[in-house]
Amino acid sequence: MSNLVSNEFVLEPADNKRLSVLCGPFDDNIKQIERRLGVEITYRNNAFKVLGEDAQSNGAAQLLKDLYVETQPVKGQPAELTAEQVHLAIQESRVLEKDSSGTSHGKDVTIKTKRGVIKPRNPSQSQYVANIVNHDITFGIGPAGTGKTYLAVAAAVDALERQEVRRILLTRPAVEAGEKLGFLPGDLSQKVDPYLRPLYDALFEMLGFEKVEKLMERNVIEVAPLAYMRGRTLNDAFIILDESQNTTTEQMKMFLTRIGFNSKAVVTGDITQIDLPRGARSGLRHAIEVLKEVKDISFNFFTANDVVRHPVVARIVQAYESYDSQQEALKQAKKEQALKEQQQASDDSSAS
């Protein structure tokens, strides 16, 4: 049985309003930390005690200290501390990681936004960002909520502001969950805008609406459907292809061959959510097979454990992955049984 460690500390300066924000309504924040890290937290005024296994106890104590710093007053009132912020802080602390080596993977993207500084929240995201920095083409593959697109846009903004590239180009195929573009009102631009909205939203959050509008007017930032990429060569650009699981093999090849000198490309997608017509092969699946040995291309595979949204999202992804695995095993078992029966029938026929 592991030895339990007790961590006792005092949060300074003493401030009842800040302590109330830290603990959350009905101690909800404290309970979340206890539940996620497997520790017991007790406190009286600003004196805290954390009981748990060594790494968890130390990690929880440091987490409480860091979160208390986040409550520093703004205009005389303690800063808000939401359940989402606590959840992300727990993930960022990496206390839950089996590998506690704390190794840093390359350069972290640090972009100041309305929500604060953007930086990787787990080792998979850190490695992803490092690969974006160090490779000409980077693939980010995994379920929703793992930060694939958001971090790619952050890296693009970072490269633009450092003047490493002269422009940003964001694109995605206009295929969504079996929907057709024809029924939408308006011209082609108005039809495809809803499909590009997640990319706009990420840009607005990082740079602000007015700055994005000005950069788009000057064509420094371009957001366009994938079909607009044909026939172009893109130099000095940071190019992001989002939702790439919905490209065909021809579209993927066309996109990858658009990349010019001093350009970077990031391709994101989730191979479990392909919305192409039945019989059409996903360009992302095909690219994983064809390009896996190509130098200067990196592949980053995220799992449900890397989800940085509400904890239930990770459990939903895990449930779907488990169901798909069971169905695949069942399908394989049926196939093997059918082959056995076919072989048995063939043997019986030969014997007679």
Task: Kindly state whether residue 332 falls inside one of the protein's structural domains.
Answer: no
pLDDT band at 156 (very low <50, low <70, confident <90, very high): very high
Average pLDDT, the chain: 82
Residue 78 has pLDDT above 90, yes or no: no
The boundaries of the domain holding residue 70 are 4-93
* CATH code of the domain covering residue 257: 3.40.50.300
Query: Are 85 and 118 part of one and the same domain?
Result: no
Spatial strand order of the sheet with 4-10 comes to 4-10, 47-53, 40-44
Task: Kindly state whether residue 103 falls inside one of the protein's structural domains.
Answer: no
Query: Are 124 and 89 part of one and the same domain?
Result: no
pLDDT band at 237 (very low <50, low <70, confident <90, very high): very high
Number of domains making up the chain: 2
What is the mean predicted confidence (pLDDT) over 18-26?
Answer: 93
Query: Are 43 and 163 part of one and the same domain?
Result: no
43 or 102: which leads in pLDDT: 43
pLDDT band at 352 (very low <50, low <70, confident <90, very high): low
Residue pLDDT, tens place only, 249-300: 999 999 999 888 878 999 999 988 888 887 888 999 999 999 988 888 999 9
- Across 146-155, 157-166, 192-201, 332-341, least confident range: 192-201
Task: Kindly state whether residue 11 falls inside one of the protein's structural domains.
Answer: yes
Residue 32 has pLDDT above 70, yes or no: yes
Residue 5 has pLDDT above 60, yes or no: yes
Query: Are 197 and 242 part of one and the same domain?
Result: yes
